[in-house]
């Protein structure tokens, strides 16, 4: 669950972590509008990953989960014709 009144702005703006409940279900890349990664820092011990779904909803992902790291890597490395094989 993301503290919804807080825009995910990370270090310097937020005075604390944004994410409390982490989504465990695997989110297919084509359901994603964006993935925002907030580095850890004085405001929050952990890096935080906030995914915005195609419908606009924002959810927190576990930055340690292998599938989240594969998801981020896939998005960065995907060539235009490629499809998602995350499992």
Residues forming the site for a copy of itself (CB under 8 A): 8-13, 29-30, 32-41, 45-47, 49, 52, 54, 56, 63, 68-69, 72-73, 75-78, 80
CB of residue 68 to a copy of itself, shortest distance in Å: 7
CB of residue 21 to a copy of itself, shortest distance in Å: 19
Using DSSP's 3-state secondary structure scheme, residue 23 falls into strand
CB of residue 29 to a copy of itself, shortest distance in Å: 6
Contact partners, residue 81, CB within 8 Å, separation at least 6: none
49 close to 62: Cβ distance less than 8 angstroms: yes
Q: Which two tokens stand for residue 9?
A: 């702005």
Measured from the CB atom, is 25 or 81 closer to a copy of itself? 81
């Amino acid at each position: 669950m993301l503290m919804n009144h807080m825009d995910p702005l990370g270090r310097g703006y937020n005075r604390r972590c944004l994410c409390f409940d982490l989504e465990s279900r695997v989110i297919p890349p084509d359901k994603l509008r964006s993935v925002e990664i907030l580095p850890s820092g004085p405001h929050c011990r952990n890096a935080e990953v906030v995914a915005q779904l195609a419908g606009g909803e924002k959810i927190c992902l576990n930055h340690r989960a292998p599938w989240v790291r594969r998801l981020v890597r896939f998005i960065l490395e995907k060539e235009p014709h490629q499809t998602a094989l995350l499992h």
